[in-house]
Chain A
Amino acid sequence: MYIAPNTPPTGTPEYEVYAIKYGDHTRMRQDNFIFKDPHDEATTIDFYVWVITGGGRTFVVDIGFEEQEAKARDRQLHRLPSEAVRLVGVDPATVEDIIVTHLHYDHCGDMSPFPKARFHLQESEMNYATGKSMTHQPLRHAYNVDYVVNFVRAVYDDRVNFVDGVSELAPGIFVHHIGGHTAGIQSVRVWTRKGWLVVASDATHFYDNMAIPNPFPIVCHVGHMLDGYETLRGMAGGNVHNVIPGHDPQVLSLFPAASKELEGIAVRLDADPIGDLSKVWRES
């Protein structure tokens, strides 16, 4: 288990971190857990992008899907990911750094509005998305070959920074390879006013996947996914309240809205929570 240092070097920016919802989908709770739960009910899965700003730089984390894929998979697209980042004042045309947690369709699709971006990606994720694993339909299902091809082209255009394991992309912004959900998924650790915050993305889809724990059923390696929950805890310096799941609708009510108009759409993750995090983490 990786334990993050208590404090980064002096001068490290305290970043602002936003989660912005761009789409959603309704399905049964059973679809979210590998071990079945007796209480089945309709639940919502939210689709997010995240924005990290500070120290004069902006990092976008993941770029969702676009209209064509939303239609093909019958997902609700409320706004393009590239439009979603505008809600917190980011112009996609000027974004220079995009962390791509993994290459599933709902995390890497809206590429063209970000012409200046460089993509930070684990090499093991590209190997997974183009290699032998993709000859298995259950592993391939969440990938869109057109999106994968866009990233292969980006490699040849010198727009991909391949990461192998852990890398500090800017002072106080780290990516960590997690694996499990996909072979090369990574999560983000960022320094904020309340300490290390972990944008887990799909290393844990919902609070309950990690809190119970009961893994998400779309999985490449269950052992690595469970190990990943431990890694996320360590990345947050042991404070699990600072771990942000990738698809949980509760995120929008647990943290304060970025502004009044963005109620239910965008929240400030580096702010103090307004909901009871000990409850979602099943601590009481």
Chain B
Amino acid sequence: MTQAIPEYEVYAVKYAERLGSNHTTFVFKDIHDGPMPMDYFVWAIIGGGKTFIVDLGFDRRYARGERHLLRTPAEGLKFLDIDAAQVEEVIVSHMHYDHAGSLPDFPRARLYLQEDEMAMSTGHFMKYKAFRHGNFIEYTVDFVRAVYDDRVQYLDGTQTIAPGIELHRVGGHTHGIQIARVWTRSGWLVLASDAVHMYDNMNKQNPYPAVFNMRAMLDGFRDMQNLVDSPDRIIPGHDPLIIKNFPAASAKLEGKVVRLD
């Protein structure tokens, strides 16, 4: 007897924004630099009686200049009637500050994390500013404490964590970054998080400059194609087109929350 696989609803909740530029978004620079805004999201996967949150964004403890926090991830999830304090499952794509930041708002959550990601975030690569810059020590410490509190579910590679929800380690951007593949009414959807920052990083084969292993990042672009029926089912982690191209979750949530499935 096979268990029915739920068709999950998937939402992107915008919680912050920043005015970047083409030169900060692509490895291969165009002579003509221009503005390239960047959105910051957390995602919610709802179905089969369960709620999975993907990533924890950052909170008010993180104060670095030009990133404008519109609302904390927990406040953003309230738009979907999700109470962060009650959330039990959080998938953490990677431990960069803008994805692993508001753990205290999710006191009951179990964290799905690749062990390689913790190894990078606490190991010798943190001596290089280029890598350390993406992490924030307070958030890293929150995660180490979560390990000792039995709240981290470590993964190594690919694993199905619920019927119709698979996590795949892709690496590239960081050593242990993972993506979520989710079954929906419109087929398989991939929440790529920062395995793909912007559509153009993947579509133009012009990667985002924050990269640990370029080969793995490019492999990831290719391998993700095999996890979906068409490339538009891959959802990048920071593209402002997400809010423009997908329908708002409701009229009131225009510009804040979109429905990806």
Residues of A within 8 A of B (CB): 123, 126-127, 130-132, 134-135, 140, 143, 145, 148-149, 152-153, 155-156, 158, 160, 162, 164
Give chain B residues whose Cβ lies under 8 Å from the Cβ of A158: 127
Given contacts A123-B124, A130-B118, contact A152 B147 (CB under 8 A): no
Question: A interface, by DSSP: helix, strand, loop or mixed?
Answer: helix
Q: What are 15 A-to-B residue pairs whose CB atoms are below 8 Å? A: A127-B119, A130-B118, A130-B147, A131-B115, A134-B147, A143-B148, A145-B144, A152-B122, A152-B137, A152-B140, A155-B122, A155-B126, A156-B132, A156-B135, A156-B140
Does B123 reach chain A (CB closer than 8 Å)? yes
Does B150 reach chain A (CB closer than 8 Å)? yes
Asked if residues A162 and B124 are in contact (CB atoms below 8 Å), the reply is yes
Smallest beta-carbon distance B112→chain A, Å: 13
Give chain A residues whose Cβ lies under 8 Å from the Cβ of B152: 135
Asked if residues A155 and B145 are in contact (CB atoms below 8 Å), the reply is no
Contact pick for A149, options B119, B141, B156, CB 8 Å: B141
B123-138 to A contact mask, C-beta < 8 Å, 1/0:
1101100001001010
Asked if residues B127 and A130 are in contact (CB atoms below 8 Å), the reply is no
Does B246 reach chain A (CB closer than 8 Å)? no
Asked if residues A131 and B148 are in contact (CB atoms below 8 Å), the reply is no
- Bound form: Cα–Cα A153–B119 in Å: 14
Contact pick for A132, options B115, B122, B124, CB 8 Å: B115
Q: Count of chain B residues with Cβ under 8 Å from any Cβ of A? A: 21
Does B28 reach chain A (CB closer than 8 Å)? no
Asked if residues B140 and A135 are in contact (CB atoms below 8 Å), the reply is no
Asked if residues A145 and B124 are in contact (CB atoms below 8 Å), the reply is no
Give chain A residues whose Cβ lies under 8 Å from the Cβ of B137: 152-153, 156
Residues of B within 8 A of A (CB): 115, 118-119, 122-124, 126-127, 132, 135, 137, 140-141, 144-145, 147-148, 150, 152, 154, 156
Contact pick for B148, options A134, A156, A164, CB 8 Å: A134
Question: B interface, by DSSP: helix, strand, loop or mixed?
Answer: helix
Give chain A residues whose Cβ lies under 8 Å from the Cβ of B126: 155-156
Which residue, of B119, B122, B124, B154, has the highest number of chain A Cβ atoms within 10 A?
A: B122
Give chain A residues whose Cβ lies under 8 Å from the Cβ of B127: 155, 158, 160, 162
Q: Which residue of B lies closest to A150 (CB)?
A: B141
- Bound form: Cα–Cα A130–B132 in Å: 17
- Bound form: Cα–Cα A145–B144 in Å: 8
Give chain B residues whose Cβ lies under 8 Å from the Cβ of A140: 148
Q: Which residue of A lies closest to B151 (CB)?
A: A135
**18 additional contacts (CB under 8 A) given A132-B154, A153-B141:** A123-B123, A126-B123, A127-B122, A127-B123, A130-B147, A131-B119, A131-B147, A131-B154, A135-B147, A135-B150, A135-B152, A135-B154, A145-B144, A148-B148, A149-B145, A155-B123, A156-B137, A156-B140
